[in-house]
Structure 1
Amino acid sequence: MTSQKTQNLKIAVVGDVHDQWEVEDGIALKHLGVDLVLFVGDFGNESVEVVRAIASLAIPKAVVMGNHDAWYTATEWGRKKCPYDRTKEDWVQAQLDLLGSTQVGYGKLDFPDWNLTVVGGRPFSWGGPEWKFADICRERYGVNSLEESAEKIFQAVKSAACDNIIFVGHNGPSGLGDRPEDPCGKDWHPIGGDFGDPDLAEAISLCLTTGKTIPLVTFGHMHRTLRHTKQVMRKAVFKSPEGIIYLNAATVPRIVEKQGVKLRNFSLVTLAENVVTQASLVWVGEDFQIVSQEIFYQRSPSVVPTL
């Protein structure tokens, strides 16, 4: 018998957290009535306690790690600023241990009740067309190049138990546009250029050859507020010719205070029969009610031909 969950699914995507996670966020997700929560990383600069709180969230979830989650480990300049003794502690591993199987970077998590597998992109990605700041992938995952990275993501696809694949990356894939306001467009000097992850794009392309369905690819990293202008915001959604919805969930800061009231944002995606019907950004107030909603994508109702 097909479960009700298979028919309709409400997904929350939590964009770059950057240390903005409170007990109230978990309560808000319960009030929103979501079935699944996807976290795109950047919890803070190796913020173990933030990750500990998120790991304890009692809602089905999948997580991928961002560049800030290896801030003091992945680069030489970061290691010089490291606030702890790296010979005695490993805050990156502490985060991974807390998250366990919910951390899907270079892996996957099956949700058979929904016939859905969440596949993670490259963990700790900084974005862009070059294999940069990626020593951590070699050290922890044995991955040495973008080509090997694409293959490792695709291996997770091939091991998926379900027919429908949602990809979660910290950064989005290349191929979504090269204007600074595009979902992964470069918004710092020199302005413009596609700063998406080519390995994630290749893995998605390979996935399409397997006959599996991809309703959603979601990510963060490239903040919606652009660095070079306040006139426009980054585009949050791109719909591919194949019908895949690409959603950038990085509305930062994700908690703001207006007139003494705290508001927290979540991206919400509704799936019906594993097709995205709506994607939006909501702000939740102190009473856990939605105070505003920005609809990024709404599926047009099917037109039934008249006889």
Structure 2
Amino acid sequence: MTTNSMKALQLTRVAENTPPSFAKTTIPLPSLEPGYALVKIKYASIQPSDRMNAKGGFLYTTYPRVPGRDYSGIVIDIADETGELKSWIGKSVYGTSGPTLGFSVDGTHAQYCLIPINALVEKPEPLSHIQAATVGVPFTTALLCLRRAQVTENDVVLVLGSNGAVGSAAVQMAKAMGAKQVLSAARSKNSNPDIVLAAEDIASLLKDRVSDLTNGHGVDVVIDTVGDLALMSGALKQLANGGRYAWIAAPRGGADTTISLDIFQAYRKGISLLGCNSITPSLQEMADQLRFMSNWIDQGLLKAQNETEFAKVKLDDAINGGYEKTGKVVIDME
């Protein structure tokens, strides 16, 4: 290494009751520590949780803080002299964070980042570096939902929001798990979903379409990536006996987040409600999930979104050109 500093995005806050300030800055290069690798970041995506973090949306974020959860990069150095661990140097890696990276320790929206050795995951060959930098949060979130719902080969799975990053991953993973039937549902017709969520009476639409598509059985698992109360209320009623409902989203901006539930029907049918938070698993647990998915990626059972779907911005322009916009954005560190 010939430099002792790096470019980074950094959040600072002067008081607990004020929103954080956000700026591009130059900070010291992370000092290598035992148990850690120094990774040169090639690309880092801007996830919705990153944008929320930049607005002060997470109470456990400490300041000053480099944000950023997902990344792809190259291992530059490692704080261990054993040959096995030193063999990581030069390898392409990718990953995502739980409650630490970007929140309580500096994240990936910088030229370099410290990653625990036990959280290093080699980038699968089918993924480009851009794709690898975009899949961490959506892929691990989808797997978290499916695992919590204990999907089996006997299950009919319904994915709400199947055209989104998490939803499209959940559809592919449910099929890779061998689910008996996987139904997709989205508001847009462009992805050709099994159910187009375009009706004033969404409950009646779901009732009719699910009954037709499952021969009256209903669905065993719902993966809800939308967070719409009317949609959730309607989808809950389509659960078969023993059904499981896993969701990752809710209305924001002060909107009502409560729904009514027929607890009589719920206990008679033995349904389970499973709230899923992608920030709960540790960095190492996230790495384990990515390793688990590697075989699906290598076999072509799990594909990332095409890299052309993402707008690329340089680190210098990442605040105005990425954080302050919506849509799919990846930061090019090179």
TM-score by length of 2: 0.26
TM-score by length of 1: 0.28
Q: Which structure has the larger Rg over C-alpha atoms? A: 2
